[in-house]
């Protein structure tokens, strides 16, 4: 279900941020950060299942916020790469898959996806009315003027 209000957009933004932080930012060891994703990578199949599930939740939330298709496609590619990177242990066993599990744990795809989606939300001007209602508002013409002149680089999404 697509977002219908600015409150929905705010909650989606928080949800995406929360998933990114839980997945990749729970523990810090010097310059390296690990999250639930990295710890679950130690258990066969658990890391991959979590990675796909958390990534799917983020993509669904991004679609609800009406992010551009290219952003959602980039998110799917990053999550897919991260999951594929951690999956050799399913084929070759935990001992031979251990090096790729360490690399997958350090690859902070969920955090990168969260940052990309939050940036997309922040760069979007959400309007809680239909396009026809917005056109009747004098602020709408001023906003369109700033966007077309290049003063402001935002997308407009009508929630109504």
Same domain, 38 and 82: yes
One domain, residues 115 and 131: no
143, pLDDT greater than 80: yes
107 and 48 within one domain: yes
Q: Please check whether residue 132 lies inside any domain of the structure.
A: yes
Range(s) of the domain holding residue 134? 124-160
User: Higher pLDDT residue, 42 or 149?
Assistant: 149
Query: Are 105 and 45 members of one domain?
Result: yes
DSSP H helical segments within 3-149, as ranges?
6-24, 36-40, 46-64, 69-86, 88-106, 109-122, 131-135, 138-149
Confirm whether 136 is domain-assigned: yes
**pTM, to two decimals:** 0.85
Strands 155-158, 124-127: pairing kind: parallel
Counting the structural domains of the chain, the total is 2
Q: With respect to residue 1, please indicate whether it lies within any of the assigned structural domains.
A: no
- State how far the Cα of 104 lies from the Cα of 102, in Å rounded to an integer: 5
Helix axes 88-106, 69-86, angle to 10 degrees: 120
pLDDT band at 96; cut points 50, 70, 90: low
């Amino acid at each position: 279900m697509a977002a219908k209000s600015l409150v929905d957009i705010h909650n989606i933004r928080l949800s995406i941020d929360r998933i990114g932080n839980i997945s990749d930012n729970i523990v810090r060891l010097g310059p390296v950060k690990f999250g639930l994703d990295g710890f679950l990578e130690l258990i066969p199949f658990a890391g991959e299942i979590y990675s796909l599930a958390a990534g799917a939740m983020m993509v669904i939330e991004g679609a609800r916020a009406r992010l551009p298709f290219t952003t959602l496609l980039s998110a799917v590619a990053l999550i897919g790469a991260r999951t594929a990177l951690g999956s050799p242990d399913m084929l070759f066993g935990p001992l031979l898959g251990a090096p790729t599990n360490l690399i997958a744990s350090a690859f902070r795809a969920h955090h990168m996806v969260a940052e990309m989606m939050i940036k997309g939300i922040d760069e979007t001007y959400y309007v809680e009315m239909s396009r026809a209602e917005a056109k009747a508002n004098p602020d709408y013409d001023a906003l369109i003027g700033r966007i077309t002149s290049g003063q402001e680089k935002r997308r407009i999404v009508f929630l109504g």
